[in-house]
Chain A
Amino acid sequence: DIQMTQSPSTLSASVGDRVTITCRASQSIVGWLAWYQQKPGKAPNLLISKASNLESGVPSRFSGSGSGTEFTLTISGLQPDDFATYYCQQYNSSPLTFGGGTKVEIK
């Protein structure tokens, strides 16, 4: 199974900050990586597919990059609505696996 490791697990930031979350895969997943945002009591919401493709309706302050085994999600100019937990997920091969999550908290 491909292990997905996210860091940090928790991130404290202020409105307007630029934040970066890292996701590492235990083996190459090429670019088959997705990022999700999840708020308490809700299902995850797809933000980015194929490492860097922003989903329709997702604000442009979100961006993704990377390939192979190392990926990043960047939020440029954190907004109050962005305080949530973020997960990466590889869909290169079965079983599909998720990272452990990064909780973005208000500083």
Chain B
Amino acid sequence: QVQLVQSGAEVAKPGASVKVSCKASGYTFTSYDINWVRQATGQGPEWMGWMNPNSGNSGYAQKFQGRVTMTSNTSMSTAYMELSSLRSEDTAVYYCARRRSGIPFDSWGQGTLVTVSS
């Protein structure tokens, strides 16, 4: 079955960076985009961007442009999301989710809590 398994919780200081991983199994990794969505406590989900493991292309929400980088290692079927210049407002659960054209997010990772605190 399709599974997306994310790395564990992170605590980071303001101004630092964090890198979250998302390991895919149960499907052909290069056939779907990996998207990243975050959700602060009590808030709705917020889409951050996507990357295509086959082409390496990516696209980011304007809010995160310049601070986020989405990459992948196809040999390990793993996607990564790095967020830099962290601030307290970045404290949230970060999810990876797979998607392809015409289809919404049909499989999600379990989420990674990122806490930004001095």
Q: Name the contact of A95 in the complex, choosing from B61, B105, B110 (C-beta under 8 A).
A: B61
- Known contacts A43-B110, A95-B62; is-contact A101 B44 (Cβ 8 Å): yes
Q: What size tier do the contact residues of chain A reach?
A: 20 to 34
Q: Which residues of B are at the interface with A, using a C-beta cutoff of 8 A?
A: 35, 44-47, 59, 61-62, 95, 97, 99, 102-106, 108-111
User: What is the interface of chain A, defined by CB distance below 8 A to chain B?
Assistant: 34, 36, 42-46, 49-50, 55, 87, 89, 91, 94-101
Residue of A nearest to B95 (CB): A43
- Does the CB pair B44–A87 fall under 8 Å? yes
Contacts A43-B95, A94-B59, A95-B62 known; A34 to B44 CB distance under 8 Å?
A: no
Neighbouring A residues of B59 by C-beta, 8 Å? 94
Instruction: Look across to chain A and name the residue whose beta carbon is closest to the beta carbon of B42.
Output: A101
Q: State A89–B45 Cα separation when bound (angstroms).
A: 9
A46 contact from B35, B102, B105, Cβ within 8 A: B105
Q: Chain A nearest CB: distance from B94 CB in Å? A: 11
CA distance A101 to B11 in the complex (A): 27
Contact A44 B105 (CB under 8 A): yes
Report the bound CA distance from A95 to B104 in whole Å. Answer: 13
Interchain CA distance A48-B106 in the complex, whole Å: 10
> Are A43 and B108 CB-contacts (below 8 A) given A49-B103, A94-B59, A95-B62?
yes
CA distance A91 to B100 in the complex (A): 11
Which residue of chain B has its CB nearest to the CB of A85? Answer: B44
Nearest first, the 4 closest Cβ-Cβ pairs linking A and B are: A34-B104, A43-B108, A96-B47, A95-B61
